[in-house]
Amino acid sequence: MNDRYSRQILFREIGREGQQRLLDSRVLLVGCGALGAAQAEMLARAGVGNLRIVDRDFVEFTNLQRQTLFKESDAAERLPKAIAAKTRIAEINSEINVEAIVADVNNSNVEQLIDGIDLVIDGTDNFQVRYLLNDACVKHGKTWIYGAAVSSYGTTMTIIPGETPCLRCIFEDMPDAGSAPTCDTAGVIMPIIATVSATQVSEAIKLLVGDRAALHGSLMQFDVWQNDRHAIKLGAPNPDCPTCGLLFMPGDLPLNNTCKLMLLKTYTYIRW
Ligand SMILES: [Zn+2]
């Protein structure tokens, strides 16, 4: 292991063993806009060894105010974000393997995308993909870290299937398309991107090095303009949740976790 990670190894909670775990880890970044670009850069610098980046968009000049991996020439050439991110990360840390996938995330590829992945991080800008990701991650027992930012506020939550509530436990119904403000309608400032992505990546590193006790265990909300910060402590998954409810049917103790997961898979296939 070279000197590159020496300051991070000195951080007791990571150490040499934690660093090796980061180098061996595989993380999926869903979306490489503002949140995703910030996440990708932090994870690459930290030495997370394998990043799978999926994004369908191309770099535009309106992205440069907050999407830190990209530069003017990427926008002039309208490079796909996943490709531009891979090129930039190779300049930052050539030891990292980056798999760049230029694609929409949908029903037909979401399970393939999370396959072989240790952890999923949300950098998307829409609820449709988040709910798809939520259901696929719960079904396959993959931890994922929800994150969203618009205007000057943002939110994040770490979802560990079977241990914490999932996105549907908290917000059962997806907001109607066009009903929630977006960066295209309400704008966005970079500090909230930095705040949310830094919280997500902190959680990612804790999970990857195995320090679960340090997770925040909350639905975190921030507003960097109004100076608000809330942490709503999360309990157990909601037994009425349509996505994880089958893992926690009341009185179902004779079912072991494998049975519950099989039931959930069947249920999810029907729903899809
Ligand atoms: Zn749930």
Q: Quick: pLDDT tens for 131-178.
A: 999 999 999 999 999 999 999 999 999 999 999 999 999 887 777 777
Residue 65 contacts residue 73 (beta carbons within 8 Å): no
Ligand 1 centroid–CA 204 distance in Å is 20
Ligand 1 centroid–CA 246 distance in Å is 9
Ligand 1 centroid–CA 253 distance in Å is 18
How many CA atoms lie within 13 Å of 256's alpha carbon, on the beta-carbon side? 1
Ligand 1 centroid–CA 251 distance in Å is 18
Q: Has this prediction a pTM greater than 0.85?
A: yes
Burial, 256: exposed, middle or buried (Cβ in 10 Å; 0-12, 13-18, 19+)?
exposed
- List the one residue out of 155, 151, 134 whose CA is nearest residue 189: 151
What residues sit around ligand 1, an ion, with C-beta below 5 angstroms? 166, 168-169, 241, 243-244
Residue 159 contacts residue 134 (beta carbons within 8 Å): yes
Ligand 1 centroid–CA 147 distance in Å is 16
Angular region, 151: left φ>0, alpha ψ -120 to 50, beta rest? left
Q: Quick: pLDDT tens for 96-138.
A: 999 999 999 999 999 999 999 999 999 998 889 999 999 999 9
Q: Quick: pLDDT tens for 188-224.
A: 999 999 999 999 999 999 999 999 999 999 999 999 9
CA distance 253 to 250: 8
Q: What pLDDT is attached to residue 255?
A: 42
Q: Quick: pLDDT tens for 34-87.
A: 999 999 999 999 999 999 999 999 999 999 999 999 999 999 999 999 999 999
Ligand 1 centroid–CA 210 distance in Å is 23
Ligand 1 centroid–CA 231 distance in Å is 19
Q: What pLDDT is attached to residue 180?
A: 78
Ligand 1 centroid–CA 243 distance in Å is 5
Q: What pLDDT is attached to residue 250?
A: 45
> What is the mean predicted confidence (pLDDT) over 255-265?
46
Residue 245 DSSP code: G
Q: How, if at all, do strands 144-150 and 119-122 pair?
A: parallel
Residue 16 CB: number of other CB atoms within 10 A?
11
CA distance 65 to 34: 9
Ligand 1 centroid–CA 166 distance in Å is 4
Ligand 1 centroid–CA 245 distance in Å is 6
CA distance 20 to 14: 9
